[in-house]
Amino acid sequence: MDVLDRKNPQGLRWVLRGGAAVFGLSALVLLVSPSTFLSLLALPASADQEWSMRMIAITLVALTGNMAVVSVSASHTGVIVASFVMMLAAGALGFLTLMIPAAITWFTVLYALVGVGFSAAYLVGLARWLRPAR
C-alpha cells in the first residue's frame, strides 16, 4: 500500500467540492456577465477584457469539473496530490488578486480572502491527514 493511501482524506474531499462550487459560480458570472466581474474588480471593461474573462471562465469550468471528479472518485493519493496543488494555486490566486493593477475594492479583498481561505483549508486538511493517529 502506498504511504499516501494510508487513510481517507475525507475532509479534503469536501474542501475540493467547496472549491469546485466557488469556481463554478465564478465561471458562470464570467460567462454571463464579464463586465460585472470587471467592474467589481475596478478594471476597465472592453471587448478584449470581456473576451479574456470568458476564456478564463471556460478554464474554470474545466477546473470545476476536475475538482468535483477528484473529490468523488479519485484514490486517496489523487485527493492528496490534487489538494496540495490547489493549496498552492488558491494561495497564489489570493495574493495575486491583491496585486491587481486597479484600485482595491471590497470585492477585490473578498475575492482574495476566498482564495487565501481555501488555501488555508487545504493546508489544515493536509496537516490533519498527515498527523499520526492518536
Q: Which residue has the higher pLDDT, 4 or 71?
A: 71
Instruction: List, for residues 73-131, the tens digit of each pLDDT value.
Output: 999 999 999 999 999 999 999 999 999 999 999 999 999 999 999 999 999 999 999 88
Query: Which parts of the chain fold into alpha helices (H)?
Result: 10-32, 34-40, 47-73, 76-97, 106-130
The pLDDT assigned to 98 comes to: 96
How long a stretch of residues is the chain?
A: 134
- pLDDT greater than 60 at residue 3: no
54 neighbors 46 (Cβ within 8 angstroms): no
Distance CA 92, CA 1 (A): 33
Instruction: List, for residues 34-86, the tens digit of each pLDDT value.
Output: 999 999 999 999 999 999 999 999 999 999 999 999 999 999 999 999 999 99
CA dihedral over 68, 69, 75, 78, signed as positive or negative: negative
Surface-to-core class of residue 70, CB atoms within 10 Å of its CB (0-12 exposed, 13-18 middle, 19+ buried): buried
Distance CA 20, CA 74 (A): 15
This prediction has a pTM of 0.90
